[in-house]
Amino acid sequence: MRRVFHLITENFGRHGLSYTDEICGVRLERAPRQFLRLNLLPARSALIREMSAVEATPFIRTIEWDMMDKSKFFPLSMLSSFSVRCCLYPLTVIKTRLQVQRQNHMYNGMIDACRKIHKVEGVSGLYRGFWISSIQIISGVFYVSTYEGVRHLLTDTFAGHVDSKVKALIAGGAASLVGQTIVVPFDVLSQHLMVLGIGNTKHGRISVDKFGMNPLGITFEPDKTRAQISADIVRLIYQRDGYRGFYRGYVASLCAYVPNSALWWGLYTVYQDELLKLLPGWFSHLCIQAIAGTLGGFTTTIVTNPLDIVRARLQVQRLDSMLSAFRILWIEEGLHMFTKGLSARLVQSACFSFSIILGYETIKRMSINEEYKRHIRW
């Protein structure tokens, strides 16, 4: 807008007109109506030329692995991941509790679950298992490294002949495979903490929510701390199943998250390309990427929701196999199994996808090597 006003004032100035008007903080000359239309034409033409130049300017759509300074990228990536997790972790707790309940025995939906958890357990109830789950940030470094590394490898191996969407799909699946191998034991532990429903009494003692689940049969003594309860969960899982117990639901996790990750990155690239075609060239590229990530998250969540419910139930309810989990889920829920916990998961997915892409692509821009900086667009 300021550019338009500047061009208008330049043209008015040539005719010796006086400054009498001010719009958006930029003073304009008042001109007779017959001059106004005449003088706007060169301003409009100049603006169109300038916008066309912006659209025609080539820029880097995807910042590749070898374009970045890793000493900047990794610390900033971990900080961004932790910040997003801090803000959005309550949605993970709510989603997990909705998924593992039988029908609507405990909660009637996302808002009802949030209200009941907050009422019985306080704000801390919405962050149950947060610190254990935060260790997953380390797996995030391996996830991102694998994703970018596989994309770079595919580019080098096939001399750039692989479509960017296919590269994103393959790299996203590979990244999830590595990430889940690291994260599943912590996921099992944090999910047990999420569903227990532990709160504090006025005297600082542990109280147990009547809506909570206790599949391991943990005994709650008045003087027990949360750290001791976490240690009890680890001990009981090991006693019952050995090391395999910490990888309970691992195959289900791979079945849920590998396609999820592959689809998300693939759809993110598809949506980004389509939005770049639809929106004008001056539109923020970073904003386009954030919107594309959100749309990709929505689509992927709807497709993979039943697999995520099966994964959660295998890990928490200690079922024997994915097949038995599907069978029990079908008996209990019927067709509702496809939408169980979907509202919470859609909200979580939209928020996570938008925040993660916004942070991830911003950090890539901040970490890019000096010689590429003039070729990126915000």
Q: Is 207 helix (H, G, I), strand (E, B) or coil?
A: strand
| Domains with residue ranges and CATH for the chain | 70-367 (1.50.40.10)
At residue 331, φ and ψ (nearest 5 deg) are: -65, -45
d(CA 237, CA 127): 22
Q: Is 163 helix (H, G, I), strand (E, B) or coil?
A: coil
- In this structure, the strands spanning 198-200 and 26-29 are unpaired
Q: Are strands 19-23 and 26-29 parallel, antiparallel or unpaired?
A: antiparallel
Quote the CA–CA distance of 116 and 123 in Å, as a whole number.
11
**Residue whose token pair is 């996808």:** 353
Dihedral pair phi/psi, residue 215, rounded to 5°: -65, -25
C-alpha 160/C-alpha 62 separation (Å) is 13
Residues 36, 41, 46, 52: is their CA dihedral positive or negative? positive
Alpha helices in the chain (DSSP H): 2-14, 33-56, 70-100, 110-121, 130-134, 136-157, 164-196, 226-241, 250-278, 285-317, 322-333, 342-367
Q: Please check whether residue 147 is in contact with residue 179, taking contact to mean a CB–CB distance below 8 angstroms.
A: no
Tokens standing for residue 149: 């590394």
pTM of the predicted model over 0.75: no
Tens place of pLDDT per residue across the chain (378 aa): 444 444 444 444 444 433 334 333 333 334 444 433 444 445 445 444 444 444 445 677 788 888 888 888 888 888 888 888 888 888 888 877 777 676 666 777 778 888 888 887 788 778 877 877 777 788 888 888 899 889 888 888 886 677 888 899 999 999 999 988 888 888 788 777 766 655 554 444 455 554 456 666 666 666 667 777 778 788 888 888 788 888 877 887 788 788 889 999 999 999 998 998 888 878 889 999 999 999 999 888 888 887 777 777 776 666 667 777 778 777 877 777 677 767 777 887 888 889 889 988 999 999 888 888 888 888
The separation between the first and the last C-alpha atoms of the chain, rounded to the nearest angstrom, is: 19
Burial zone of 66 (CB within 10 Å; 0-12 exposed, 13-18 middle, 19+ buried): exposed
> CB within 8 A of 264, min separation 6: which ones?
172, 293, 296, 297, 300, 353
